[in-house]
Amino acid sequence: IAHGQTGVDIEWIRPASVSVRHWWFGPPVYRDAITKESVDFEMNRRDASVTIVGKYLAVEVALADYRIAVRTAGGRVMFTEARGPERNPRTIVLRQLLDEGEAIYGMDIAPPSRESASLRGARAENAFPFFFSSKGYGRYFVSERRKASVDVGQGIVNRLDVTLPSGADQEQYVYLGPAPKEIFEEHMSAAGGDSLVGPASLLVLGAQNLPPKAVTLPVDLKLCDLSAGVNQASLSARLF
């Protein structure tokens, strides 16, 4: 989807994972597919937007500024961006609206309150750019530094801002769970070696945040070990 030298590419990685790649100076050099899975999709165009619908996910792109809205194929809204990407020579900023009561986890930063594992109200300068939501989706922002500045509803209560180093393009992966285990598996498949996170991201797995019969694990595991070892029902019962 393009106009002049700016545009956005949508690539289905797997039925429950999609890549969204914004670019500013002409189309980027296209790479091989991230995975070899074939995903059927259909595209619907209206005056102001284009919607691409796959097996489990639908991505709507606003033609005015290339902001995206992601929902399930059945129509349930996962998230909506407040506006399109804001780029200058130093940074790219993406702004997402948050629902009332929506909890955000991950980013390898500690939650602002000991009362909850959610990151609502947190702000950090060196966050790992991967998070997942109590609404059952995850987002990963591709960055060579694997760091981002984030504001999770501190500056504006119901908005999440992610600031990344500037470049000619910016790619993100969006995953549908709905359970955290499934989001981790989608992330590992799409991002591979970039999927490593630190202990703070996994505080959600602490005994205080899980049901009494949950399987407890060390918090310094790679996500591949995590997704292989966590019982899905145990992890999802408390969060979602």
pLDDT, tens only, 110-153:
888 878 889 999 999 989 899 999 999 999 999 887 789 999 99
pLDDT at 114: 79
What six digits make up the tokens of 145?
Answer: 């530094």
Structure tokens at 40: 């059927």
DSSP H or E run through 23: strand 17-23
Would you say 141 and 192 are in contact if contact means Cβ atoms under 8 Å apart? no
> What does the mean pLDDT of the chain come to?
84
Residues in the chain: 240
Tokens representing 11? 């690539």
- Burial of 129: CB neighbours in 10 Å, binned 0-12, 13-18, 19+: buried
What pLDDT shows up at residue 238? Answer: 40
Tell me which H or E stretch contains 69: strand 68-72
Residue range 144-185, pLDDT digits in tens: 877 899 999 999 999 999 999 999 999 999 999 998 889 988
Q: How confident is the model at residue 228 (pLDDT cuts 50, 70, 90)?
A: very low
pLDDT of residue 147: 86
Distance CA 74, CA 124 (A): 35
User: For residue 33, is pLDDT > 70?
Assistant: yes
pTM of the model: 0.82
Judge contact between 141 and 78, C-beta under 8 A.
no
pLDDT, position 229: 47
Q: What percent of the chain has pLDDT over 90?
A: 59
Q: b/e per residue, 55-70, with b = 16+ CB within 10 A?
A: ebbbbbbbeeebbbbb
- Between 6 and 143, the more confident residue is 6
